[in-house]
């Protein structure tokens, strides 16, 4: 799938897209993986409980204690692309249980840095010899830690000199796709979209319904970005680690109390401007050890994912269907927004994921959620909900390109043809979900994708074929503009009287 040199390209993923609720990318960000590498409407971490995987690495401490061959083994395990990187790492750490938390942090940070910069490192490593995993590991460590890492690497002087020399190459002298470590197909698609946006600027509709111009057009005397500059800005942001956001569970606490509990635990955290439930945490603290987390005061959830739930605008007492619930990150956010009133049906094709939702529900205090297992989007059980829902949220299986900061392996596991297969699945799920909306009710289609084929194209196809819904409003969140995961959403209201063509 990657368009990089063969050396830089893993074996392409294959397989059919999964059905509704199949695992997507990062909400750290809930990340179901659909086709071999697809993400489900948000990223893994966003809805998952925090995991004590890594402490921040420092060159003068734990880096020098971890044998380079152990770090390389972790990189090698993940570069096989046999599964989501965080799950592969979890298995790796079980096999290397002697590693302490800080040592696991060094391994994890190196693994994710290699995944983010895989194509660049593979390009620089040409001619250096050895395995791709070994070259990428050494380049990652030297690039991040410089000379402080040299004593621990145990690299022969000529090879060390060669590694240091290639790291001095000016990135601007490289092709943009290599510099940004994007597979050719994804780079080409993003550039094509940026070209179209430059020719006809796309306005974005925020959750308050206001229509605003693109971010670069709002600055006084700002020169419009060229398509290449737009891709560069986005690509550079996608090479950075994602922020760690929390959602305050309003059923148990308010944001002031949650912040006080975090500060008391020695955790640096600040409130975000939007949404009102969002907190951003600095570093990688062991949140699961904080008493307030155990008591259900907050969940890990990307601020963009929280804004998506806000855009859906659930109300107290409503009947709501979370059509692709996954492990339930957005389900819990919906329950909080509804103050645990009304009824939420959390639908998914995976009984295991719905089972993982149950302890989270207990911890949250929400009592209005009913897990609802499905065989597919055509499951006959859905007939009992037909025309009954005030709100149906479709957090569709997708490529997860909006979550590449937290799920960078997705760009190496996905191929262009997978997007075509996903768009067919997305359209099928959206059509099935629309039948559940009652007159006057709301339908929301969402992805954590940056790609037109999964977003506007699916909406346009739905609008062309379906009568009875008004014109959609949109929410578009781009990581380079709002510093959240990338999200797209469209919201319709079902007309009380069928439209006539």
As annotated, the active-site residues are 448
Chain position carrying tokens 């490529």: 399
Torsion angle of the four alpha carbons 428, 433, 439, 440, in this order, in degrees rounded to the nearest 10: -110
CA dist list (Å): 467 to 150, 279, 324, 385: 65, 40, 23, 20
The b/e string for 88-120 (b: 16+ C-beta within 10 A; e otherwise) is bbeebbeeeeebeebbbbbbbbbbbbbbbbbbb
CB 458 within 8 A of CB 489: no
Q: Which tokens go with 243? A: 């922020």
| 248 CB-near residues (< 8 Å, 6+ apart) | 254, 255, 258, 277, 278, 279, 297, 298
Q: If we measure between CA atoms, which residue out of 451, 385, 390, 388 comes closest to residue 415?
A: 451
Among 338, 321, 325, residue whose Cα is nearest residue 392? 321
Strand, coil or helix: what is 327?
A: coil
- The rounded Cα 67 to chain-centroid distance in angstroms is 31
Return the structure tokens found at 66.
Answer: 């971890």
């Amino acid at each position: 799938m990657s368009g990089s040199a063969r050396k830089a390209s893993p074996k392409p993923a294959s397989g059919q897209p999964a059905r509704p609720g199949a695992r997507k990318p990062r909400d750290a960000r809930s990340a179901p993986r659909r086709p071999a590498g697809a993400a489900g409407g948000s990223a893994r971490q966003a809805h998952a409980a925090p995991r004590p995987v890594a402490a921040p690495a420092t060159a003068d401490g734990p880096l020098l204690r971890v044998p380079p061959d152990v770090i390389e083994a972790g990189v090698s395990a993940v570069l096989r692309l046999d599964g989501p990187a965080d799950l592969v790492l979890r298995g790796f750490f079980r096999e290397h249980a002697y590693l302490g938390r800080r040592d696991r942090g060094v391994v994890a940070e190196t693994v994710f840095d290699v995944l983010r910069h895989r194509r660049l490192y593979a390009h620089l490593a040409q001619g250096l010899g050895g395995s791709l995993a070994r070259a990428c590991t050494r380049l990652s460590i030297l690039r991040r830690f410089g000379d402080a890492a040299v004593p621990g690497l145990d690299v022969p002087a000529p090879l060390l000199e060669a590694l240091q020399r290639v790291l001095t190459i000016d990135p601007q002298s490289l092709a943009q796709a290599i510099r940004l470590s994007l597979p050719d197909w994804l780079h080409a698609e993003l550039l094509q979209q940026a070209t179209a946006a430059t020719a006809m600027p796309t306005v974005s509709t925020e959750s308050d319904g206001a229509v605003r111009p693109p971010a670069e057009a709002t600055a006084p005397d700002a020169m419009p970005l060229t398509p290449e500059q737009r891709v560069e800005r986005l690509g550079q942001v996608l090479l950075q680690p994602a922020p760690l956001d929390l959602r305050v569970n309003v059923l148990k606490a308010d944001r002031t109390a949650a912040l006080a509990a975090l500060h008391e635990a020695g955790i640096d955290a600040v409130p975000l401007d939007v949404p009102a439930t969002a907190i951003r945490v600095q570093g990688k603290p062991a949140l699961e050890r904080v008493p307030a987390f155990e008591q259900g005061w907050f969940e890990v959830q990307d601020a963009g994912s929280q804004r998506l739930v806000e855009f859906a605008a659930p109300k107290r007492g409503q009947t709501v269907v979370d059509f692709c619930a996954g492990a339930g990150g957005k389900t819990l956010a919906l329950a909080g927004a509804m103050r645990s009133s009304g009824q939420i049906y959390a639908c998914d094709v995976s009984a295991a994921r719905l089972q993982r939702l149950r302890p989270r529900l207990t911890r949250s205090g929400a009592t209005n959620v009913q897990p609802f297992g499905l065989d597919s989007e055509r499951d006959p059980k859905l007939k009992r909900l037909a025309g009954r829902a005030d709100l149906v949220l479709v957090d569709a299986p997708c490529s997860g390109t909006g979550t590449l900061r937290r799920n960078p392996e997705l760009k190496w596991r996905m191929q262009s043809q997978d997007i075509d297969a996903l768009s067919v699945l997305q359209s099928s799920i959206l059509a099935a979900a629309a039948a559940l909306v009652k007159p006057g009710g709301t339908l929301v289609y969402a992805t954590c994708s940056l790609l037109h084929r999964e977003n506007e194209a699916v909406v346009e196809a739905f609008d062309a074929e379906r009568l009875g819904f008004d014109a959609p409003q949109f929410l578009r969140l781009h990581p380079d503009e709002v510093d959240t995961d990338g999200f797209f959403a469209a919201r319709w209201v079902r007309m009380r009287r069928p439209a006539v063509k």
